[in-house]
Each structure stands twice: as structure tokens, then as C-alpha cells.
Structure 1
């Protein structure tokens, strides 16, 4: 096998067409250059240079080899520059999975900060429900995920990113209901607007009613938080939603929170990565910015 350094010596010598100049460029002795070329020629059983009185000149076989070696070292140099850019976070990619609501209301400020600091990093977002996002994470399609808890999976390392407090909200047509405390039974008889089945949020609220011995059937099933808030504002019923997601509407009197005799328990939002997967430099930088586990 030919030493990679021999190829480098061959390349520089071919460019300078002079052993002494090549040695000076490579910071080695002229005999070392001559020896490396001789070893290459013996290994290949081909002459690579014509020895001239004032230097060297590539043979036909040397010219053929030069084309490949020149391109190969150019690619290696490009690879090293690319790796250096990845290391310095000038280039790279991070793949994040989360629901639309968590992307908009929880992740977006972090994404804006990360993009501002590292504009060369490509951010790829994968949206879906928690079970779908969990599956993509385990299959390696994404680097990290923001999930509604609980998620119990031994293959994932999950730390708390945030705590959400949920509530039921109504529009101005039902404002008087917000002036008194309601039982779970009264709420179950009210027109309910819930996220579609299969979402962690839908499962959570159904389980909460089940602990009260109640089974609910929503009047509306919608696919986004924005639609929940909008239909509640228009008077279609009470929407189950995280308070922080509609805090502005609550502050401006566009929505009204229903008070409950038995308050809803808070929900944890987890940040997950695979236990067996080494994060890219870009993903590690994003994790550091989130400061996961210290909130």
C-alpha cells in the first residue's frame, strides 16, 4: 500500500517540477522527496518523472496519476474545510420534531435566537403528534424532539423543558360562565371543542374527565390550537387549550377562562434525544441554548 504522504510529495513535486522547491514547500529534505518518489515508482512499477538537469517532468503515466491525485487532495481539502465549518457552526443542520402548537408557542423564541446566532445552520422542522414524533426520533429521522409528557421509552433520554397549565376558554357569548366555578359534570354538558383524536392533549383531557367518572364527546374536533381558540372566540363552545398559548387573548378580553372546582393538573413538556445517538455539533449547540433540565 502506498503511503498517503507519498502522494502529497508526488503532487507538490509535479507542481514545482523541482525536487528542491518541493522539499522546501513540504518542509522536508530534498533526499526525502527523492526517496518517496522512488518508493512510489517501485510500488507502482512505473516511472512517474523524467529526471532532467534542471528538475523533473511528469511521464505520461505520471500525468495520468496527477489528474487523480490533484482532484483527490482538492476533495480532501474541501472536506477538511467543511468539517471546520461544522465545528465552528458556520454550516450544519439540526432536525427538530414537535407539534405545530409547541413549535409556535414554545420553540419559536429559541429557534429565532439560534438562527440569529448561527445563521449558517439549517433548521429542519418536523411536525406531528407526540406518538408520530417519538417514532421519527427513534428511527433517526430527527435529532431531537419536544414532546407532551408522559412518554416512557427506554431508548430515549427525556428531560423537562417546560410546564404547561391547561384551561377551558370561551368567547364573549359565554362570559358570564367565567364568573363562577364549574364542576366537571357541568363542563361535560357544555359544548366542547377539543383537538383531534390521537394527540397527547386530547388523551390528557379525556383521562381527566375519566377520573371524574365522565366520558365526553366533543362537539368539534380540530387540528390546531389556533382553530380551537378561534372557534371558542366565535362562541361555539369551550376549548381545551394551554393557558400560555392564549394568554394575549385572555388579557384583551377576547377569550375568558372557565374556573373549575377541581383545577386541572399541570403537564410537563419534555425534550428528548435518543440514548444511543451522538448529537451533531449543531444539535449540541441547540441543546446548550435550551439549557434543558434547568428550567
Structure 2
């Protein structure tokens, strides 16, 4: 049984005639009659009474059409739902984002996206890139935001902006010490850093090793939010993306500077991407492009 059979049956009942139904459907009457016979044979029931001048549904036909009407309404609603999703009036998006990028990007990004598409529901999962990529492969996430320096054949990267690590201190502390550090001053500065589970910490350790310096780590934490609050209210400095230095914090130049990392959107290569996901890619490019212009 096909949807065509049901629509043909409804047309015959609505018009009370095979001839008029065939004209409305733009099919031949023999073809229409054949489709109705196939439907009745498939159901093992006579659905139409053809004995009078007007074709009418039998008792079985009435019962069948009662259910069919409900099903057709559901199908019509489903069609509208598809159109609604495509025009982004509704839908959903599952996003994975690394902690360091989430600290400065997620709020302005969601503000920008929701201003255009308030009907799209978002689920945001903050995790290391090593967790985001498998989730993309398993269709547990639609998009990820991480870094493009960890290439994988089945993960497509869309470059966004350069993220550069910097020494971050409290604004009061910076006012007293100035805007630049020597290598010796950096080595003697007590630091509060993310712990070794973060890729940012591994980059910091590599930086000190390459510079021939030894870091003075006073505190290790596993939360960027907690780390920023520690730096804001103490004399400890930290090393994080320069973008996270918000109210009460300031950045200080380092000798030498950290090499930039290219942040990137991540998605499965050659996979279906929903209208919401495609719109989110555009929104992310707009937000990060504005950041680069500042």
C-alpha cells in the first residue's frame, strides 16, 4: 500500500465519482480504478460501494478513512515541520567546544546566533578535543569548536581565528608592575595554571621548556572559571588565551610571545549537515571575524 492509493481513495469519496476524481487527479479513469482495486485487494476489504449513481464508502471504507484522515493530517504536519526546520524557525543543534575557547567565545556566539534563530534549541558540551572528535564520528554531536592542528581524515576543519596565549594578571597587579616582562621576571612569577588534563597546560609547559625557563607553579586547578577568579583576587598570574581577560584582568607581553593556535569548527566530513548546523557555521564565522578585527 502506497500513499498514492490512499489519496486516490479519498479523491473518489470526496468527488463521489471515479470520473471526476480522475479529472481532479489528472490521471486516467482506468488507472485510478486499478489503484483502488489494488488497495482493496491489499486490505482484503471492499472500501467503496459502486452500485449506485454516486460512489460511496462502505462501512469498512468509512472506518478506514477515519484513520486515514488522521494519518494524512499527521503527514501534512510533518511536511510543515520539515519546512519549519529548513527555514530555521525550529530545530536543534548539539555543539562540542573545548574549555579554553568556551571561556571567551560561547557567550557572544550564542547571543549572536539566538538573536537570529531563537527557535533553535542548543545543547552545549564543553570537553577536550579528544572527546569531541569521537562524538562527532558517532553522531553524538553536530559540530565542534576546537583547533585545526589535530587533523583527522574523517573530520573536516573550518578555520576561524587565531588564539594566542598570554600572561594574565589582575588589573591592579598589572597597574603596579607594567605591561611587559623579562624572561627572568616570568620565571620568578608565581603562577596559577590549569592542570595537565588541559591542552593549554601542555602548551605552557612546552613554552617554558623551549625558552629554557622554569615555571613557578603555586596553584593548579581544573576549571578556567575558578582560575580566572583566583587571578582576579590574588597576586598570582596565569597563562590563558588573551581573549579571556575580561573585567578586572589584564594581559602582559611575554618574551617571546606564544605562537598562535588556529581555532576551527569541526564536523564530520561528507556527512549530512542540518540547516541549523549550516547556519551556526555562518554565525561562528561572523563572530570570530569581528573578534579578529578588534
The aligned counterpart of 2:88 is 89
Structure 2's unaligned 5+ residue stretches are none
For 1:114, the equivalent position in structure 2 comes to 113
| Cα contact 1:93–1:122 (8 A) shared by 2 | yes
CA distance in 1, matches of 2:207, 2:167: 13
Q: Matched residue of 2:240: which SS?
A: strand
Provide the residue aligned with 1:261 in structure 2.
255
Aligned 8 A contact 1:177 1:258 in 2: no
1:7 aligns with 6
Question: Structure 1 pair 170/291, CA: closer, same or farther in 2 (3 Å)?
Answer: closer
Query: Residues of 2 paired with 1:179 and 1:38: CA distance?
Result: 87
State the alpha-carbon separation in 2 of the partners of residues 231 and 42 from structure 1.
Answer: 77
Question: 1:133, CA displacement in angstroms?
Answer: 2.3
Residue correspondence of structure 1 range 77-156 to structure 2 within 5 A:
77-148=76-147, 150-156=149-155
Does structure 2 retain, via aligned residues, the 8 Å contact 1:48–1:61? yes
- Per-residue CA deviation, residues 118-147 of structure 1 (Å, 9 max, x unaligned), is 222222211122322233223221111111
1:180–1:76 Cα change, 3 Å: closer
Answer yes or no: is the 8 Å Cα contact 2:103–2:224 preserved in 1. no
Question: When the two structures are superposed, what TM-score results if normalisation uses the length of structure 1?
Answer: 0.82
Per the alignment, residue 284 of structure 1 pairs with 278
- Structure 1 equivalent of residue 269 of structure 2: 275
Per-residue deviation, 1:152:
2.7
CA contact (8 A) 1:50 1:59 kept: yes
Aligned alpha-carbon RMSD (Å): 3.0
Native 8 Å contact 1:178 1:257 kept in 2: no
Q: 1:29 to 1:153 in 2, by over 3 A?
A: closer
CA distance in 2, matches of 1:104, 1:69: 53
The 5 A counterparts of 1:228-267 are 228-246=227-245, 248-249=246-247, 254-267=248-261
Partner of residue 60, structure 1: 59
Residues of 1 paired with 2:241 and 2:40: CA distance?
Answer: 74
Q: What secondary structure sits across from 1:218 in the alignment?
A: strand
Question: Which secondary structure state, in structure 1, belongs to the residue aligned with residue 256 of structure 2?
Answer: coil
Q: Which residue pairs with 2:191 in the alignment?
A: 192
Aligned length: 288
User: Would the alpha carbon gap of residues 265 and 132 (structure 1) be closer, same or farther in structure 2, given more than 3 Å must change?
Assistant: same
What is the CA distance between 1:215 and its match in structure 2? 5.4
Deviations 1:70-102 (A, max 9, x none): 333223222211111122222221211113552
Q: For 1:180 and 1:121, how far apart are their aligned partners in 2?
A: 45
* Distance change in 2, residues 1:241/1:3 (3 Å): closer
Match of 1:182 in 2: 182
Structure 1 match to 2:40: 41
CA distance in 2, matches of 1:155, 1:35: 50
SS of the residue 1:219 aligns to = strand
Deviation string, structure 1 residues 178-233 (Cα, Å, up to 9, x no partner): 365321x5423321111232112111111111213455463212333333232222
Structure 1 distance, partners of 2:250, 2:3, is 72
